[in-house]
Amino acid sequence: MKILGSCQPYFIRCIKPNDYKKPLLFDRELCTRQLRYSGMMETIRIRKAGYPIRYSFAEFFERYRALLPVSAREQLQGDARRCCIYISETVLGKDEDWKTGRTKIFLKDYHDMVLEVQRDKALTEKVILIQKVLRGFKDRKQFLKQRQAAVKLQAAWRGYYGRKNFRLVLLGFERLQSLFRSRQLAKQYKTARASVVKFQALCRGYLMRKKTAEQMKAVCVIQAYARGMFVRRSFQRMKREHQHRLEARRLGLEEEKRLIPIIGSMRAKQEAMKLEKEHLAALEREEEQRKHNSLSDKQPLYDAISDQEMVDKMFGFLPTVIGGQEGQSPLGFEDLEAKAGMLDEVDLDMLPMSVQLEEEVDDLAEYTFPKFAATYFQGSSTHTHMRKPLRHPLLYHDEKDDILASLAVWNIILRFMGELSEPVMFAKNTNSKSSSVMTQIYDTLGKKSQVQLTGNNTPQPGGYRRDNRLSKGISSVKLKRSSKLTGKVVSQLNSREELIQEQSTISDRPMSNLEKVHFVIGNAILRPAIRDEIYCQICKQLSENNNKSSRARGWILLSLCLGCFPPSDKFVKVSCPRSLDQA
């Protein structure tokens, strides 16, 4: 018994939930029957009839102190027994069945439930109050931070806005000052300009009056000298005439004295007068001849000579060529010579003063090849010399055939100027040797027109006539005396691919210098759209070309092109040698 008393033993009565020993299976009737058989239900009933809930005053006060108001706690001065009684009377009521002992308080089950409900309610209220206070503190603190941040933002924004407005106002004042000063300077400039213009007018008037006075003095001096010269000439003429009359009179008297003994005085006097008149007439004829010779010698010094007369005079040593036949021109086609007429004597005082014409301003300096290249060249092409084949033409072309012809002409120009080596001889198209370059170029044009005609699928009866007219136009160019174009050549190829291959065959075979010139000029004549392209390519190769031989070949090719076909109005001033020298 001592051992059992010291060990404080206790027994555990197990209750089976089911007879099958399966989990999660509860048999209510079986458990109730086990509790009834063990006497537990009776014990619970007895326990329930008494006071099953028993707390010591310290435990009760510690657990339910939340139900005691703060004012009552100060009055009770922290006495646990009195606080427990006050809480029980306040919550449970004085008439309820609860008791207090020396150290404990005895309560029913429902009293404990009421106390727990009230305790949870009081704790909930206190927790809500604490949460409210803490949340208020937190929100207040966050609000204060936000308000401080807003104040800082407002301060920064107001500072920025104020500085911005200040800068705008400062800029406005600066503009106002600049406008005021500019108007002031403009007014001063206008005033100064008006003064200068007025001063210039006065100075020019003074200079003009001075010059006019000097010119009037010079004119008076010239008039005086001219009049003196004329008076002296007239005096000399009158003196010569008087001497001639005296001489004629003397000769007449001598002849009269000689003839008086022979024929008598009357007939001698008549013969003497006749001799005197003949002598005076001969002297007058000599005087007229002398005047005529002096005027004819002075005439070339004052007469204007036209450009045609100057060229005829400079190249007069060349033989006359008419219709391809050298030698003297046939009779009846010579120039008519006009008889030199007598020039009337004119008094210099009656002639108006000559007005010096202003020289024509030469504006070719503004038209240079670099400016033209910068304005019209495609892509990154420049006006300077290069030795590489072109990827695209220098100028823009609508037709694909013009683009291919431009690229082919560029290769021929490079080969003609020695910038590109000749291709290796190949045995393709054996008929190309037997025909001229112009015929081959025209063949490509004929094939192009044939391709266009076959694309429409409608025969045209007038096509043969147009081919004949076109062949006559080609023969009129006189680059080849006899054209070998036939209808067989036009009907050989019917596709554009074969046309492009034929054109590349012409330009890719070895050619002589004459064939290269014919190729370039023939393309320019048959394709007027690429004439400026050819001129631009030649001028590009002449610009900044340090090779003397290549530059000489380029100038020869340019001169031949200028002699065969003209450039367009857009390029005509750029093709001037002076404009090309500036490039």
How far from 290 is each of 279, 281, 284, 295, 343, CA to CA, in Å?
17, 14, 10, 9, 13
Residue 286 to residue 512: CA distance in whole angstroms? 70
pLDDT band at residue 472 using 50, 70 and 90 as cut-offs = very low
3-state secondary structure string, 187-220? Answer: HHHHHHHHHHHHHHHHHHHHHHHHHHHHHHHHHH
Average the pLDDT over 9-35 and give the result. 87
Q: What is the DSSP letter of 342?
A: P
Identify which of 398, 341, 342 has the alpha carbon closest to the alpha carbon of residue 527.
Answer: 398
User: 201-215, 271-285, 514-528: which has the minimum mean pLDDT?
Assistant: 271-285
Identify which of 88, 43, 42, 101 has the alpha carbon closest to the alpha carbon of residue 61.
Answer: 88
**Which phi and psi (to 5°) does residue 78 adopt?**
75, 20
Which tops the pLDDT comparison, 464 or 500? 500
Q: What is residue 260's predicted lDDT score, i.e. its pLDDT?
A: 78
Please write the tens of the pLDDT for every residue from 409-454: 999 999 898 888 887 654 444 444 445 655 666 555 555 545 444 4
Residue 527 to residue 477: CA distance in whole angstroms? 13
Take residue 6 and report the two structure tokens written for it. Answer: 């010291």
Residue 259 to residue 271: CA distance in whole angstroms? 8
pLDDT band at residue 467 using 50, 70 and 90 as cut-offs = very low
User: Vertex 405, ends 427 and 552: CA angle to 5°?
Assistant: 90
Residue 505 has pLDDT above 70, yes or no: no
Length of the chain (residues): 583
Average the pLDDT over 483-495 and give the result. 37
Amino acid, res. 238? M
Which tops the pLDDT comparison, 503 or 253? 253
In sequence order, the 6+-apart residues with CB closer than 8 A to the CB of 241 are none
Residue 583 to residue 542: CA distance in whole angstroms? 8
Please write the tens of the pLDDT for every residue from 56-83: 988 988 888 888 887 777 677 767 888 8
Contact predicate 583/385, CB 8 Å? no
Q: What is residue 318's predicted lDDT score, i.e. its pLDDT?
A: 46
Q: What is residue 117's predicted lDDT score, i.e. its pLDDT?
A: 92
User: 107-116, 230-239, 282-291: which has the minimum mean pLDDT?
Assistant: 282-291
Which tops the pLDDT comparison, 252 or 309? 252
Give the count of beta carbons closer than 10 Å to the beta carbon of residue 521.
23
Q: Is the C-alpha dihedral spanning 51, 53, 55, 60 positive or negative?
A: negative
Which tops the pLDDT comparison, 502 or 475? 502
Residue 480 has pLDDT above 90, yes or no: no
Numbered ranges of CATH 1.25.40.530 in the chain: 370-455+464-582
Residue 440 to residue 435: CA distance in whole angstroms? 7
Take residue 151 and report the two structure tokens written for it. Answer: 């104040």
Residue 102 to residue 98: CA distance in whole angstroms? 14
**Burial class (CB within 10 angstroms; exposed 0-12, middle 13-18, buried 19+) of 398:** exposed
Please write the tens of the pLDDT for every residue from 81-91: 888 888 888 88
Identify any residues that bridge with 235 across adjacent strands, giving them in sequence order: none
- What is the fold of 370-455+464-582? 1.25.40
Amino acid, res. 501? Q
Identify which of 542, 539, 432 has the alpha carbon closest to the alpha carbon of residue 489.
Answer: 432
Q: What is the DSSP letter of 364?
A: G
Residue 180 to residue 189: CA distance in whole angstroms? 14
Contact predicate 543/384, CB 8 Å? yes
Q: What is the pTM of this model?
A: 0.34
CA quadruple 529, 531, 536, 542: dihedral, nearest 10: 160
**Which phi and psi (to 5°) does residue 350 adopt?**
-85, -15
User: Vertex 486, ends 481 and 488: CA angle to 5°?
Assistant: 155
First to last CA, the chain: 137
Identify any residues that bridge with 99 across adjacent strands, giving them in sequence order: 106
**Burial class (CB within 10 angstroms; exposed 0-12, middle 13-18, buried 19+) of 52:** middle
Please write the tens of the pLDDT for every residue from 301-319: 444 555 456 445 544 544 5
How far from 443 is each of 59, 321, 457, 505, 511, CA to CA, in Å?
128, 34, 22, 12, 18
Residue 408 to residue 534: CA distance in whole angstroms? 11
Residue 473 to residue 476: CA distance in whole angstroms? 5
